[in-house]
Chains A and B, each alone.
Chain A
Amino acid sequence: AQKVTQAQTEISVVEKEDVTLDCVYETRDTTYYLFWYKQPPSGELVFLIRRNSFDEQNEISGRYSWNFQKSTSSFNFTITASQVVDSAVYFCALSEMEYGNKLVFGAGTILRVKS
């Protein structure tokens, strides 16, 4: 069964601090995909990144970086030099090849960045 755990319910930081959002997943499939989405107060889910299970390369995009480690079933997300506009709910999600494009989301982490 698919499962995604985001143990951090809420994180508060001061602007310019670095922050890491944790994501741990469970799957029996060897082919799967991991995602991060951002949900600002407007409600729309904004796609941030996708990783497949065969690509463990870490990725950096501007102030965002992702650390994928199959050995610990983790896909953590780091925001460097956080900004107030980063305040949102962040969801980690998993889809398995067997279940097509069905996304299973973690509970989400609320990030509050204070100025």
Chain B
Amino acid sequence: DTEVTQTPKHLVMGMTNKKSLKCEQHMGHRAMYWYKQKAKKPPELMFVYSYEKLSINESVPSRFSPECPNSSLLNLHLHALQPEDSALYLCASSSQPAGGGTEAFFGQGTRLTVV
């Protein structure tokens, strides 16, 4: 069983909706990540939080807004998305924030469909 929990598992939203994806880990990890994975493609990094601070933003459009309320939780707020934003959104965590090359542990993802 994964130790990174993502909710919801599936989400369908309209282009005018506001929704949030949630991620939780209780491994004491200090780095958390959001990845986006389109069908038949590899995951692509969106954001990295280190010690609850945003450390990497891979030029993600502002309609995606990350938030890290505490060391265990990571949210991704969605607003005014486009159909091309439909994808699997994966959350991950790792014990070392940067430079350590530590393995990341992934959740099962939220499969998002924008209609």
Contacts and interface: CB of A to CB of B under 8 A. Distances in A.
A107 B38 CA distance: 11
Nearest to A105: B42
A44 B94 CA distance: 15
A35 B106 CA distance: 13
A64 interface: no
B41 A107 contact: yes
Contacts of A57: none
A107 B42 CA distance: 5
B109 to A, nearest CB: 4
A106 B56 CA distance: 20
B31 to A, nearest CB: 6
Contacts of A102: 45, 48, 56
Contacts of A91: 42-43
Interface string B16-44: 00000000000000010100000001111
Interface residues of B, number: 31
- How many interface residues does chain A have, given as a range? 20 to 34
A70 interface: no
A101 B105 CA distance: 12
Interface of A: 31-33, 35, 37, 42-47, 50, 52, 91, 95, 97, 100-103, 105-108
Interface of B: 2, 31, 33, 41-45, 48, 50, 55-56, 88, 90, 92, 94, 96-109, 111
28 contacts: A31-B101, A32-B101, A35-B103, A37-B106, A43-B90, A43-B108, A44-B106, A44-B108, A44-B109, A46-B106, A52-B101, A91-B42, A91-B43, A95-B101, A97-B101, A100-B50, A100-B97, A100-B98, A100-B99, A101-B31, A101-B96, A101-B97, A101-B99, A101-B102, A102-B56, A103-B45, A105-B42, A107-B41
